[in-house]
Amino acid sequence: MVDSGVNAFRINMSHGSFQEKKALFDQIKKLKNCDGNHPSILTDLAGPKIRIKDIKDEMVLKTGQTMFIANEQEVDDKKIIISSGFSFGRISEGGKILINDGRVHLEVMEKMDEHLLKIKVLIGGKIKKNKGVNFPGVALDMPSFTEQDVADLELAIDEGADWVALSFVRSPYDKEAVDAILKDKGVDLPVMAKIEKWEALEHLDEIINTFDGVMVARGDLGVEIPQEQVPLVQKKIIALANKAGKPVVIATQLLETMVESPTPTRAEVSDIANAIFDGTDALLVTGETAIGKFPEKVINVLSRVILETEQTINFDKIHQPISHQQHTADAISHATCQIANDMDIGIILTLTHSGSTARMIARYKPSADIIALTPVEKTYRQLSIIWGVTPNMIDQYSNSDDIPNVSSEFIGKNHLLDKGERYVVTGGVPVGVSGTTNYLFVQKA
């Protein structure tokens, strides 16, 4: 899959033992792509997901059947036991409960007490252990960061993860618990907010501005809100993230039919293309490769659709407008893209330690190739999911006097331009200080 175009692997911390998760980290870290570097690792924390518990095999719910749902009860044949740690206090009679991404529909007939509901099956089906349970429209009193998340985050830090995704984010304040652990560990790890709760939609601007990136997790989101709203919400989130210069990832059911089929549907291909047209940075497949029969074909399809779609986009027409309130780094990044466009320059070279300069430039979607040169391997891996950025490892450089020589040496060594062709170089000084993008110049090969 790496050879077919995978830039990053997501490790879903909802499943597996400590040793199994650690083994996945070890396995991914052994992989290398065509230029000899490792793909990045995105650690997806489980979050306060409500799941079915304590079913040995599977249970078949029949339409019209009445049963009970409990979260602090003994198991028996008439009860569905789900995750504990919250009460049913905010759930009302007539409320809907959805299981397994909305495949099974239940209705609350009576609230027996704070931990027991009598329910009626509206749409039946099979359910089994660990399948998700949703209460659409209900603001459940649950923690945003669990004990399991703490342990999983510490494992991710120890194993050198490049990104961490926080599940079921409801407000910008949910990031504080993660930041506290990262600070205590002395680690600077970017945190991505997974947008999959209806509450998050009420705080999108604040969440995007607070977190380092966002993921549109369409599986749970499509259960939390009406399905017909998901495309519009996705489009809105992409636009807000692009405007803020934050990476945005589209996830779930991109190529769902390829779990069983070697080819996608036309609708799936169109869905992927539209996400690209809207400006997504990355596309994340889940079950298609985790349990699917054709993981390599899935990646090949994604790669082909991405390449074909991006060839038709006129990026020069979709520059984000710059306002007078933006900082020096914003203005320099925008000017870099404008100069490349005006002078018909095909390469923008960024020298970066933290990746900040490359991310700022990618925000403006230039038609020129963005090549990020960094001496920091973690930055290399983090940049692999940023739109339009091709990261490259270089030797450490210590001061601004090295920048022209480092740039020309890279261009010449890799035969990227003919002699006399121009390219734009940008970055920040002092060297190694994040967020100081403050120079640009045009140089000839």
CATH number of the domain enclosing 90: 2.40.33.10
Whether residues 65 and 185 share a domain: the answer is: no
What is the per-residue pLDDT for 401? 82
Q: Is 261 a member of any domain?
A: no
> CB-based burial of residue 46 (10 Å sphere; 0-12 exposed, 13-18 middle, 19+ buried)?
middle
Residue ending a domain, among 223, 252, 281, is 252
Asked if 366 and 386 count as a contact pair (C-beta separation under 8 A), the reply is no
Question: Would the pLDDT of 77 be above 80?
Answer: no
Burial of 419: CB neighbours in 10 Å, binned 0-12, 13-18, 19+: exposed
Query: Do 42 and 163 fall into the same domain?
Result: yes
- 339 and 242: one domain? no
Structure-token match 């040995």, residue found: 56
Q: Distance between CA atoms of 20 and 412, rounded to whole angstroms?
A: 45
In a domain, 400, yes or no: yes
User: CATH code at 246?
Assistant: 3.20.20.60
230 and 342 belong to one structural domain: no
| Helix ranges, 65-163 (H) | 147-158
Q: Please indicate, yes or no, whether residues 32 and 171 belong to a single structural domain of this protein.
A: yes
Asked if residues 176 and 233 have their Cβ atoms less than 8 Å apart, the reply is no
Residues 71 and 115: beta-carbon distance below 8 Å? yes
Region at 168 (left for phi over 0; alpha for psi -120 to 50; beta for the rest) = left
Q: Is the pLDDT of residue 241 over 90?
A: yes
Least confident range from 248-257, 326-335, 352-361, 364-373: namely 326-335
Asked if 337 and 427 sit in the same domain, the reply is yes
End-of-domain residue from the set 252, 280, 306: 252
Q: What is the pLDDT of residues 416-436, one digit of tens each?
A: 999 999 999 998 888 777 767
271 domain-assigned: no
Region for residue 401 given its phi and psi (left: phi exceeds 0; alpha: psi -120 to 50; beta: otherwise): alpha
As a whole number, mean pLDDT of residues 315-332 equals 68
Q: Lowest-confidence range among 80-89, 224-233, 331-340?
A: 80-89
pLDDT of residue 182: 96
* Total domains present in the chain: 3
Q: Would you place residue 231 in the very low, low, confident or very high pLDDT band (cuts 50, 70, 90)?
A: very high
Domain boundary, last residue among 85, 112, 134: 134
Q: Do both 33 and 151 map to the same domain? A: yes
40 plus 67 within the same structural domain: no
Q: What is the mean pLDDT of residues 115-127?
A: 94
- Establish if 329 belongs to a structural domain: yes
Q: Tell me, what's the pLDDT at 55?
A: 78
Q: What is the pLDDT of residue 438?
A: 85
Give the separation between CA 187 and CA 153, rounded to whole angstroms: 11
CATH of the domain at 412: 3.40.1380.20
Please check the confidence at residue 185 and state whether its pLDDT lies above 70.
yes
- 16 domain residue, yes or no: yes
Q: Give residue 350's pLDDT band: very low, low, confident or very high (50, 70, 90).
A: very high
Residues 439 and 323 in one domain: yes
Same-domain check for residues 237 and 335:
no
pLDDT tens, position by position, 366-412:
999 999 999 998 999 999 999 999 999 999 887 778 889 999 999 99
Residues 200 and 127 in one domain: no
Residue 268: inside a domain: no
Q: What is the pLDDT of residue 107?
A: 97
Give this prediction's pTM. Answer: 0.90
Do residues 330 and 190 both lie within one domain?
no
In a domain, 279, yes or no: no
Q: Is residue 230 part of a domain?
A: yes
* Of 266, 272, 276, 195, residue with least CA distance to 229: 195
Q: Which domain range does residue 99 map to?
A: 58-134
pLDDT, position 324: 54
